[in-house]
Homo-oligomer: A and B are copies of this chain.
């Protein structure tokens, strides 16, 4: 079975956490919306009256199943592709961490969209500056400090133990994205989370991930996605 991933074709966004899992697993998939007529196919899937239409991309078609919500997709993929433990306790723990990352991703998005996701950044700039200040003062230390502590508490190999899970892949993306969006702030902050920085580098060096990052399947960061580089927010 070849998976079909449906996500906005111009950005990494939330789809990237799924792409990283599919790439690490080395499983066959099509990034549908990046192909011809892919975007209209995606919109059509979201309009299934009487069925189970997803609220928003990303969603994954796996045979007859259509699974929406990033963390839910990873829950499904994790146990099938060796990216999560097989025990119920282990699966719930890894999923719990992914949901915490999802909360953080929403807060990252809010740094440039504090007045709501439908407005233009330019119309919310003063509020974005305030929100970004609070984000770096309170939220980044709280979230990244939590994951650093988990890494430290279990010997520093992977966040949930001796085997890589999709949570480690997602944390790679968080570090990578914060480096892109806030190069100055992140550079100053990295000394607080040496374990996470090291995890980022080890994930980036894994053969499947390294090949993916070099390929044109990896969409470059840009100012349409979750991680946006706005100079005035990176002081």
Binding site for B on A (CB under 8 A): 49-56, 64-65, 67-69, 71-72, 75-76, 89, 92-93, 95-96, 99-100, 102-103, 106-107, 110, 114-119, 124, 127, 130-131, 134-135, 137-139, 143, 146, 149-150, 153-154
Contact (Cβ within 8 A) B139 A51: no
Distance (whole angstroms) from the CB of A2 to the closest CB of chain B: 19
Given contacts A55-B146, A99-B99, A118-B138, 11 further A-B contacts (CB under 8 A): A55-B100, A67-B92, A68-B100, A72-B95, A75-B92, A76-B92, A103-B106, A107-B116, A110-B116, A114-B114, A116-B131
Given contacts A103-B106, A114-B114, A131-B116, is CB(A52)–CB(B138) below 8 Å? no
Contact (Cβ within 8 A) A154 B68: no
Distance (whole angstroms) from the CB of A85 to the closest CB of chain B: 12
**Which residues from chain B contact A154 at a C-beta distance below 8 Å?**
50
Distance (whole angstroms) from the CB of A8 to the closest CB of chain B: 16
Contact (Cβ within 8 A) A50 B153: yes
8 A-B residue pairs with CB within 8 Å: A65-B92, A72-B95, A110-B110, A114-B127, A115-B130, A116-B135, A117-B138, A118-B139
Contact (Cβ within 8 A) B134 A119: yes
Contact (Cβ within 8 A) B99 A52: no
Contact partner, A96, options B54, B64, B137, Cβ 8 Å: B54
